[in-house]
């Protein structure tokens, strides 16, 4: 079987969702955040409607409002803290949310990035090759698998003081 450096086949592995999730979690925090952003913006028409409908966003309302009050630098640091599982007030608040609420939180954050309320991805930013390959692989998954990968990606972010 031939492997290319430009793509990850979703049929090469017995469980593509587990493989992609594992690879995603091995990315740097910056690449994880960028991948989430690009997944929401490039595949948003099909992925994002499932997130808010399945979540109880009122549980994340304080966290979302807190992001609105932060400077761009503080927002970026808070997002990195979430990806790196740093013990911080934002990570603790996020860590106790349910998985679907976490998925919806990132959807709302992506929407706020588009609006300019939350720091956007810089125009000069370029994702790493591994992150680009994963984004491509996610795009080739079935809808339910895409949601599962994104849910898996955000589920372990943040800091759960009870874990």
The residue range of the domain holding 134 is 16-155
pLDDT of the residue at 13: 52
In a domain, 36, yes or no: yes
Give the CATH number for residue 115: 1.10.2090.10
Q: What is the pTM of this model?
A: 0.83
Using a 10 angstrom Cβ sphere, with 0-12 exposed, 13-18 middle and 19 or more buried, the burial of residue 19 is middle
Count of structural domains within the chain: 1
In which residue ranges of the chain is pLDDT below 70? Answer: 1-13, 44-55
pLDDT of the residue at 92: 96
User: Residue 15 corresponds to which tokens in the numbers above?
Assistant: 């469980």
In a domain, 163, yes or no: no
Cα gap 132→108, rounded to integer Å: 23
What is the torsional sign of CA 28, 34, 36, 39?
negative
In a domain, 11, yes or no: no
């Amino acid at each position: 079987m031939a492997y290319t450096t430009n793509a990850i086949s979703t049929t090469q592995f017995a469980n593509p969702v587990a493989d992609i999730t594992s690879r995603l979690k091995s990315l740097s925090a910056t690449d994880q955040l960028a991948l989430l952003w690009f997944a929401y913006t490039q595949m948003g028409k099909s992925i994002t409607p499932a997130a808010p409908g399945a979540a109880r966003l009122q549980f994340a309302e304080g966290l979302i409002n807190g992001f609105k009050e932060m400077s761009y630098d503080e927002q970026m640091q808070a997002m990195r803290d979430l990806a790196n599982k740093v013990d911080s007030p934002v990570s603790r608040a996020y860590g106790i949310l349910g998985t679907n609420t976490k998925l919806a939180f990132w959807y709302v954050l992506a929407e706020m990035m588009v609006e300019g309320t939350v720091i956007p991805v810089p125009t000069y930013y370029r994702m790493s090759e591994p992150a680009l390959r994963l984004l491509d692989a996610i795009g080739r998954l079935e809808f339910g698998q895409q949601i599962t990968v994104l849910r898996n990606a955000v589920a372990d972010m943040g800091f759960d003081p009870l874990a």
